[in-house]
Each structure stands twice: as C-alpha cells, then as structure tokens.
Amino acid sequence: MVLQRSRPEWALALTSVAFFMVVLDSLVVITALPAIHRELRAGLSTLEWTVNAYNLTAAAGIVTAAALGDRLGRRRVFAAGLLLFAAASAACALAPSVGFLVAARAVQGVGAALVIPLSLTILTTAFPAERRGAIVGIWGGLGGLAVAGGPLVGGAVTQGLDWHWIFWINVPIGLAAAALAVWRLPESRGPATRLDLPAVALVTGGAVGVVWGLVRGNDAGWTSFETVATLGLGILLLAAFVAWELRAPEPMLPMQLFRSRPFAAASATAFLMSASIFSAAFLASQYFQLVLGYSPFGTGLRFLPWTATPVVVAPLAGMLSDRVGRRPLMVLGLLLQAGGLAWIALIATAGTGYGQLVLPLVVAGVGISMALAATPAAAMSAVAPRDMGRASGATNTLQRFGGVFGIAVASAVFAASGHLGTAAGFTAGFRPALAVVAGLSALGAACALAAAGRRRLEAVPVVHSAAA
C-alpha cells in the first residue's frame, strides 16, 4: 500500500526525531568537554562558549523562526533548519581549532531555532484536536529524554569513538529527516506576521555582551576597559531591546505579557531553573572526569540519578499539580535541587566517593523533576488562551537564555578561585561555583512564590495590532 504524503504518523516520527536531535545537542557536548580541552587546548572560558554559542543563537532565533515558517511555509523552513543543522554539525566535527568549533556551534544553534518551534506547529496541525494532548505529550517526553540522555550519549560516543562523532552522527539523521520532510509532510502556512529583526539583533548583542563580560572578567580584570565596556554595552542593548519591544507592532517578546505577575514570576522561575540545570551539568561533568577520574561514559552513567529522574517523576508531578497547584511543586522542587547541589558543594573533594554523591544527586533530580513539570503549566495558566502561543515562545526563549547566563556566572565564580590544571585546583573553584548554582535554584524558588497556583490568575491578554 502506498503511504499518503500527509499521513500524520509521518509528522509524529519526523518532528520527534528532529526535536530529539536538536535538544540532545544542547547537552551532548557536556561530557566531551575534557576531551575537547585536551585536543584543542581550550581553556575554561572557551569551553564555556562551545555550550553557550549554541544556546544563544537558538534562544534568539526561536520566535523569528516561527514567524518565518508562517510566512514562507512551515515544511520548507523546517527542512532548511535540518539541512543547516546537519551542515553545521559536520563543520563542528571537522573543526581545526576551538574558535572554529564555537562558530560552527553558533550556526548549529540557528538550525535548532528553525527546527524547535516548527516541529511542534507541524505536529499539532497534523492531528485532530482530540488527539493533540497525547501526541504533544509524546513529543515533550522525547525532549525530556534527550535532556536526560545528552550527557550519557555524549560520554558513550566520546569514549567509544571520539568527541568528533557526537557531531558526525547528526549528519545522516539531519539529511534523511530533511528529505523525508519534503517528501512526506504537507506544506502549511500561518498569518504573515512581521519579522521583528531589530529585536533579534538587540537581544543577541546584549546577551553576548553580558556573557562576554562575565567570562572575561577574571582574566582581563573586573575594572578593565574590556570588561566594563562589554558589560555596559550588553546592558544598554538589553535595555534598548525592552524599549523596542514596548513599541513594536508585532514584538518578538510581548512585554504586555509581563503585566501579569504570575506569568512574570513563572518566566523568571523558568530562567533561573534553566540557569541552575545547565551550569550544574557544565561543572559536574568536568568534576567527575578531571577530579574523580571517571571516563566520559562513566560520567554519563553516574549522572543518571539526577538527569534521568524527570523521565519518571515529571509525569507524576504534572498530575499532582492539577490537584495541589503549580506553585507548591515549583517552590519545593527548586528548593530540593538547591539543597542537593549545596550538599555536593559541601562534600566535594578529590577523594569523595561516588556513593557519597548518589543521595544528593537523587534529591536534586527529584526536585528539578517537580519544577520542570509545574513551571511551564504555571506560565501558560497565567495568560489568556489566545496568547498561549506567544507565552510559550517567550518562556522557551527565556529558558535558553537562562542556561547561557547560568554557565557564565558559574564559570566566573570558578575562575576566581580555581583552574583546570590540577584536581585540587579544579575542586577549589568547583565548590564555590556549585554553591552559587544552588543559590540560583533557591532564587528560582523565591520567584515561584508569586507564580500562579491552581487557578488562572490575572490572565492578561496581549494587545495586538491590526496587522496581526
């Protein structure tokens, strides 16, 4: 029997594979960082950019990519994103220097930005309304599995082959998925909204300026011209971004949404939650290898009490949140993660056994699982139904910027008292840096206190222009 081109199972298969691949790459490089450090002689600040370059461009491009799909065709832009992602992955694998690798990772992030929003749009339009909840649940579950499996997959590939192959495996998958998307998915378009390109330029430049200043602060000096100028320029560009968005007819990040205190609180919680997750993974993966002496694959396995917990706990927490509300789970979850990370920071030495780390990893994992399930629901419940699409884009963008911010802050704290040269030197920086990461999680819990509870609170519709 010849399969119909628009058969919805194809949409589920292709969008899920693509989404899994691009989410996996946000953390797959984590356990390969020591190997990249050895081969390309990269310092901590440069290693940081191999993670942040990807997340920065992905965060800045998500909302614009959705608008491009509506204007040019969702299938066309989705396939273009897969091709760009595959080409950039090949460039990462062939990188002769760490600077080239960082640049290729930035291009990879652009490809991911094209894939992430359009995979969900294509999927939801392929199924009738009565089936969308279950289908989107599968899609979201694969994203959670990708986050959990990123360090494990990266460690297995790095140890079994070498770090270049964590990028090579994307190439055939991306090319095949792009070809099948063109062949099997129907084309669709949405309303031709305006592209808020000035906002993309302002927020990207602002984020790069702030992150650059944080990364270079210890090496160049916190009062040096380079640090002060880049931090100042970054803050000015971010302020200009906010001012622009307040006046833009079709803003990338609708500021009217933040008139709702519960939505603003949930978004701040999402930002800090992502900051703590990414920065903790960035630090711990190197501690496990450079200090405790575990292999890349062994590190990924030993992360599972923390990273795999959401696969089991998050669905249960989601059901519980419908009964008790989102706020208690967000607050308790982030406090548990803060406690688990602070516990590790207290006991971490060169002689710490893995058995001593299992319980705090489980505590942190259970906590973040609760927050991961409740925080997006709290953000969505705080806005009017017609604004949920924009609210989702805003929250996703802030989460990815949060990861970039968290790694930058943690690295700055690490560099102030530690270094990569010896186990003792790494531990000296790791402990205060992880303590600060625990503080970010606790700050997220404080923000969650103002988030929406069981019922929708202060749902504020966005004022749309006539062009919308």
Same-domain check for residues 310 and 440: yes
Q: Which helix or strand (DSSP H or E) is residue 282 part of?
A: helix 261-286
Same-domain check for residues 329 and 423: yes
**Mean pLDDT: which of 37-46, 50-59, 229-238 is highest?**
229-238
Same-domain check for residues 147 and 125: yes
Q: Which residue in 161, 162, 151 sits closest to 284, CA to CA?
A: 151
The whole-number pLDDT of residue 191 equals: 63
Residue predicted with more confidence, 439 or 203: 439
Same-domain check for residues 175 and 123: yes
Same-domain check for residues 260 and 243: no
CATH number at residue 169: 1.20.1250.20
How far is residue 17's CA from residue 186's CA, in Å, rounded to a whole number? 17
467 within some domain: no
How many domains, in total, are found in the chain?
Answer: 3
Same-domain check for residues 61 and 99: yes
466 within some domain: no
Length of the chain as a residue count = 468
Same-domain check for residues 159 and 49: yes
**For 58-72, 266-280, 345-359, which range has the lowest pLDDT when averaged over its residues?**
58-72
Same-domain check for residues 239 and 319: no
pTM: predicted TM-score of the whole model, two decimal places: 0.76
Q: Look up tokens 């929708």; give the residue.
A: 456
pLDDT digits (tens, 9 = 90+) for 373-391: 677 767 767 766 666 666 6
The letter for the amino acid at 77 is V
Same-domain check for residues 222 and 338: no
Residue predicted with more confidence, 455 or 278: 278
463 within some domain: no
The whole-number pLDDT of residue 4 equals: 43
Per the structure, the complete domain to which residue 48 belongs is given by 7-184
In this predicted structure, the answer to whether residue 237 has a pLDDT above a threshold of 60 is yes
Same-domain check for residues 132 and 259: no
451 within some domain: yes
Measure CA 356 to chain center.
Answer: 29
**Mean pLDDT: which of 235-239, 305-309, 348-352 is highest?**
235-239
Q: Which residue in 44, 38, 400, 366 sits closest to 207, CA to CA?
A: 400
Q: Which two tokens stand for residue 317?
A: 């927490």
190 within some domain: no
468 within some domain: no
| Cβ neighbours of residue 405 closer than 8 Å, sequence gap 6 or more | 210, 211, 271, 275
pLDDT digits (tens, 9 = 90+) for 296-346: 788 878 888 887 776 677 667 666 666 777 788 888 889 999 999 999 999
259 within some domain: yes
The whole-number pLDDT of residue 456 equals: 44
